[in-house]
Amino acid sequence: MPDTFGSRLRQVRGGISRAKLAEMLHVPTNTLGNYERDRNEPSFAFLEAFCTILSVHADWLLFGTGPKLLEESDELAPDAMQIIAPMLEADATSQEEDMNDSDADEDADTEEVDVAELRQQLNHLAAHCYKLLKQKEKLTQENAILVQENEQLTKTNFQLRTQLKAQQTNLPMVRSETKTEK
């Protein structure tokens, strides 16, 4: 099987049905199928959702380079923890309330496992969001520099065009003066 975006998409989907994954990603099943068959290219929003939901590195999914899965040891930067701390606290409060309302210990154990898994997914999402925010900040800064450079180049271009036009306008006068002198 060739190593294409579609084949990597199928590989990561694994045992999850196409219909179930399409539902999770909020896309039609046939759209996901077209991505897997390399008939269409997905949007950035789809890639972001897919990589987040299945904990896959975008570089690997798109190009087949780098690690395949996000490492569980990915550390969150302090800023990211500040962003997600309220979410984690709300999750812990919700977990306590759910545990108090539980009728059986078995249900509580199941909820603890589910909450731990959800917390892990939340950490991955927060780390991914933090990385995207940092990339956005960097791109915004680069964009501002490029806008300034573009403005400067536009001014320089205008000045050069004005000078060229003035020189072209003066050239016939110089030629006619030369003819008159002869």
pLDDT band (50, 70, 90) for residue 177: low
Please give the Cα distance from 75 to 56 (Å, whole number): 16
Please give the Cα distance from 72 to 123 (Å, whole number): 9
pLDDT band (50, 70, 90) for residue 104: very low
Rounded to 5°, angle at Cα 25 from 23 and 29: 50
Say yes or no to pLDDT of 140 above 60: yes
Kindly report, residue by residue over 16-39, the tens digit of the pLDDT.
899 998 888 889 999 999 999 999
Please give the Cα distance from 127 to 130 (Å, whole number): 5
What's the pLDDT score for residue 67?
86
For 25-46, give the DSSP string: HTS-HHHHHHHHTTSS---HHH
Kindly report, residue by residue over 118-138, the tens digit of the pLDDT.
666 766 776 777 778 778 888
pTM here?
0.41
Q: Delimit the domains of the chain by residue range.
A: 5-63, 78-170
What's the pLDDT score for residue 4?
93
Was domain 5-63 assigned CATH 1.10.260.40?
Answer: yes
